[in-house]
Amino acid sequence: MRKTAKKLVALGLAATMTVGSLASCSSSGSNDEPKTSSSSKDSESKATESENEKESKDTQESTKENDPDQTDAPTEGETKPDHVDNFVPPVYEPTYVSDKPVTIEIFSQVANYSGEQQGWSAAILKEKFNVVVNVINDPDGSQMTSRMQTGNLGDIIVFGHRDDVYESAAANGYLLNWNKDDLLTNYGPYMKEHFAEALDYNASMNDGVCYGFTGAVALEGSSNDKGTIYTWDTRWDLYDQLGQPEVRDLDDLLDLMKKMKEICPTDENGKETYALSMWPDWDGNMVMYVKAFATAYYGYDEWGFGLYDVNTGKLHGALEENGPYWKSLKFINKLYQNGLVDPNSMSQKYQQMSEKMSAGGAFFSIFNYAGSGVFNSEEKSAKNQIMLPLIPKDATPIIYDTSTTGTGYEWCIGAQTQYPELCMSILNWLSTPEGYLTYFYGPKASSPEANDGCWCYGSDGNLYLTPFGEKANANRTETNMAEIGYTGTFNEGSLQVNSDTWASSSLNPDSPTGESFYADHWNSRQTGAKCDAEQKWRDYSGETVGTSYLIHWENAVHSPASGITHRDPSKKNELNTAWKAVAGEIVNGTWKCIYAKDDAEFDKLFKEMTESAKAYGYDDCIRFSEEQAETRYLAEQILSANS
């Protein structure tokens, strides 16, 4: 076994150990300090005692003593009731607040927006922390390149991958050691207590130094009730009008899309409709939508320049003829040849695609956030229009399991920040249930019926969306926040970093009824169908929630503990240079293949892409990807055996 493989398998083994045996992020005194660090002066800001959360617990204890009907939230392993009496949720105050207005930068590699944060989340952050947030994105990688040259990556940083850039940032002292000067203990106490395994895991990957944590953390015992983002959202009202024809495979799906266009040739703005509208913003080693389609239909996970079979560990290269990437690309080209692909897909941005989808310009999306999350609304339901999952019967969609070590993007703090306490305080609040629910669903309301926010706990201990919150959740792109005292739409005001602290499917530590953060499964929202088309879908699927349909899909593929084992390993400089060139050839060649006018041109363009990518070093890149896939599989097997 190669040295790299041995190291990564060892990390897989380490992840199965008890928290106490890991290199603890909660212990201080590491010799591996960042080379550059700075802190804000006490005269410029004020610290709120780190006892805030203790006081919140004390308040609950006092309330319980004075009110014998007050019920404790059940601990892990207990049976959860469907309601309690006189529940009083904890209140989480910031652990640090600036005494004068300051501006901080959040540099997020996965953000789609760049500029000063606007709207409701900006107002909340200003009120809570006296801070203005400037979001910096990195659509082409140039921001990271220039910032790595100076060493100043920003105040809060979200890495899209734990790759050679992350490793270099850590090695060169560009990331803040969270244990320096007891920063985590004093200003991140909620994270220290509830994200212990995620923090310890980060330290175990950095020679004992904690530089942050992997987001989308889940409590032990959480089930992935969100299922997957690959929801196969389809215009169910049109499907029902067509008599619900069987969709067994991709040929049937193509036929269905043709028939949908026949009965719905234009959208609500009078523009031509398509089966599919895509965007290139998130293309990487491969075209995002093509490789994601392979994940959604065949159940393979993206890995380097290929698609990884989680059941066998085999990697199918992007240029493998008749492989999953090729098959997915071929299907999308078939859609194009039949006039069913938005011709602007290669040039438009995600926002432009969303506007088309909202107007009914596309019938289908493999993603919930680009399908039902954009299209569905109260207004659409009133017209009996709705997007809901329709999975081809032969499909084997992937479902990512949750992990206590996180499965998302990397949250860090820059070593050169002038406001380390403030940054830690913000991350700590975003990691509390109150902070995360606010981040995801909007401002907290005073009661389930109040028109002053989007969500809250009821006295029965269950979570609720207010009437306004229901409207915002159903149509985030168009809901105007002025109705509850903020500016802009819900989406415009959402914190634009595109990274979660908690997994939305995680159990909520504050819930006495055992609810997760995911609203579709809250007790309060298990209601009747919003329209006839939705009822027809419920009759068809036997489910009331789309995600349950996915979770219970018989042929679903489960990807285990991806947050632990799915890391992009460092590449040598010469391979890194070839990697970028190969990625460019595959992305550009793929888009050309999508727009091929017939099968002969498709074959010609795919051959040209293959030859060009190989000339730039594809064979070396795919060999490296295969080696790392083998390592990943071994680590996952170890994790599965110890779970």
SS (H, E, C) 255-299: HHHHHHHHHCCECCCCCECECECCCCCCCCCCCHHHHHHHHHHHC
* Residues sharing a CB contact under 8 Å with residue 637, sequence separation 6 or more, in sequence order: none
Mean pLDDT of all residues in 208-221 = 94
Could you give the number of structural domains in the chain? 2
- Tokens 């234009």 sit on residue: 266
* Residues sharing a CB contact under 8 Å with residue 524, sequence separation 6 or more, in sequence order: 448, 458, 462, 463, 464, 465
In a domain, 634, yes or no: no
Q: Three-state secondary structure along 376-414?
A: CCHHHHHCCCCEEECCCCCCCCEEECCCCCCCCCEEEEE
* Residues sharing a CB contact under 8 Å with residue 91, sequence separation 6 or more, in sequence order: 56, 59, 434
- Is pLDDT larger for residue 276 or for residue 550? 276
What CATH code is carried by the domain that includes residue 245?
A: 3.40.190
Q: Is 554 left (phi over 0), alpha (psi -120 to 50) or beta?
A: alpha
The burial of 134, by beta-carbon neighbours within 10 Å (0-12 exposed, 13-18 middle, 19 or more buried), is given as middle
Identify the weakest region by mean pLDDT among 26-30, 331-335, 440-444: 26-30
Query: At 3, is the pLDDT very low, low, confident or very high (cuts 50, 70, 90)?
Result: very low
Identify the weakest region by mean pLDDT among 196-210, 216-230, 264-278, 436-450: 216-230
In a domain, 455, yes or no: no
Distance CA 313, CA 311 (A): 6
In a domain, 377, yes or no: yes
**Domain-terminating residue out of 505, 540, 565:** 565
488-515: pLDDT as tens digits: 999 999 999 999 999 998 999 999 999 9
Same domain flag for 510 and 555: no
Identify the weakest region by mean pLDDT among 489-493, 533-537, 637-641: 637-641
What pLDDT is attached to residue 624?
A: 94
Same domain flag for 266 and 207: no
Query: At 288, is the pLDDT very low, low, confident or very high (cuts 50, 70, 90)?
Result: very high
Same domain flag for 293 and 354: yes
In a domain, 624, yes or no: no
Question: Is the pLDDT reported for residue 405 higher than 80?
Answer: yes
Question: Is the pLDDT reported for residue 58 higher than 50?
Answer: no
In a domain, 23, yes or no: no
As beta bridge partners, residue 135 has 106, 115
Identify the weakest region by mean pLDDT among 93-102, 518-527, 531-540: 518-527
Enter the tokens of residue 179.
Answer: 């244990």
Q: Three-state secondary structure along 101-135?
A: CEEEEEEECCCCCCEECCHHHHHHHHHHHCEEEEE
Query: At 636, is the pLDDT very low, low, confident or very high (cuts 50, 70, 90)?
Result: confident
In a domain, 573, yes or no: no
Same domain flag for 112 and 195: yes
What pLDDT is attached to residue 506?
A: 93
Helical packing angle, 420-430 and 433-441, nearest 10°: 80
What pLDDT is attached to residue 527?
A: 87
Pick the closest to residue 197 from 51, 21, 53, 31 (CA basis): 21
**Domain-terminating residue out of 456, 480, 515:** 515
Same domain flag for 358 and 434: no
Identify the weakest region by mean pLDDT among 95-104, 307-316, 545-554: 545-554
In a domain, 161, yes or no: yes
What pLDDT is attached to residue 62?
A: 38
Domain that holds residue 250: 230-402+521-565
**Domain-terminating residue out of 484, 515, 546:** 515
The burial of 325, by beta-carbon neighbours within 10 Å (0-12 exposed, 13-18 middle, 19 or more buried), is given as buried
- Is pLDDT larger for residue 33 or for residue 47? 47
Distance CA 273, CA 606 (A): 28
What pLDDT is attached to residue 465?
A: 98
Query: At 569, is the pLDDT very low, low, confident or very high (cuts 50, 70, 90)?
Result: low
Same domain flag for 382 and 409: no
Identify the weakest region by mean pLDDT among 21-30, 170-179, 502-511: 21-30
What pLDDT is attached to residue 631?
A: 86
Mean pLDDT of all residues in 144-161 = 94
197-206: pLDDT as tens digits: 999 999 988 9
Question: Is the pLDDT reported for residue 470 higher than 50?
Answer: yes
What pLDDT is attached to residue 194?
A: 97
For residue 26, the 8-state DSSP code is: T
Same domain flag for 62 and 102: yes
Question: Is the pLDDT reported for residue 543 higher than 70?
Answer: yes
Query: At 471, is the pLDDT very low, low, confident or very high (cuts 50, 70, 90)?
Result: very high
- Residue at 362: amino acid letter: A
The burial of 363, by beta-carbon neighbours within 10 Å (0-12 exposed, 13-18 middle, 19 or more buried), is given as buried
Identify the weakest region by mean pLDDT among 226-240, 288-302, 568-582: 568-582
Phi, psi angle pair for 86, to nearest 5°: 55, 45
Query: At 642, is the pLDDT very low, low, confident or very high (cuts 50, 70, 90)?
Result: low
What pLDDT is attached to residue 56?
A: 39
What CATH code is carried by the domain that includes residue 211?
A: 3.40.190.10
Same domain flag for 214 and 153: yes
- Is pLDDT larger for residue 41 or for residue 378? 378
What pLDDT is attached to residue 28?
A: 31
What pLDDT is attached to residue 400?
A: 82
The helix/strand/coil state of 517 is coil
Same domain flag for 130 and 193: yes
Distance CA 206, CA 568 (A): 15
Mean pLDDT of all residues in 182-202 = 96
Distance CA 547, CA 383 (A): 23
Q: What is the pTM of this model?
A: 0.74
What pLDDT is attached to residue 573?
A: 66
Query: At 40, is the pLDDT very low, low, confident or very high (cuts 50, 70, 90)?
Result: very low
Question: Is the pLDDT reported for residue 45 higher than 90?
Answer: no
- Is pLDDT larger for residue 264 or for residue 281? 264
- Tokens 């009731």 sit on residue: 81
What pLDDT is attached to residue 82?
A: 85
Identify the weakest region by mean pLDDT among 70-84, 154-168, 363-377, 514-528: 70-84
The helix/strand/coil state of 371 is coil
Same domain flag for 163 and 173: yes
In a domain, 589, yes or no: no
Mean pLDDT rounded to a whole number for the chain: 86
For residue 42, the 8-state DSSP code is: G
* Residues sharing a CB contact under 8 Å with residue 46, sequence separation 6 or more, in sequence order: 96, 97, 98, 99
Same domain flag for 123 and 54: yes
Same domain flag for 204 and 251: no
CB 76 within 8 A of CB 221: yes
Query: At 307, is the pLDDT very low, low, confident or very high (cuts 50, 70, 90)?
Result: very high
* Residues sharing a CB contact under 8 Å with residue 493, sequence separation 6 or more, in sequence order: 118, 119, 120, 121, 122, 123, 481, 486, 487
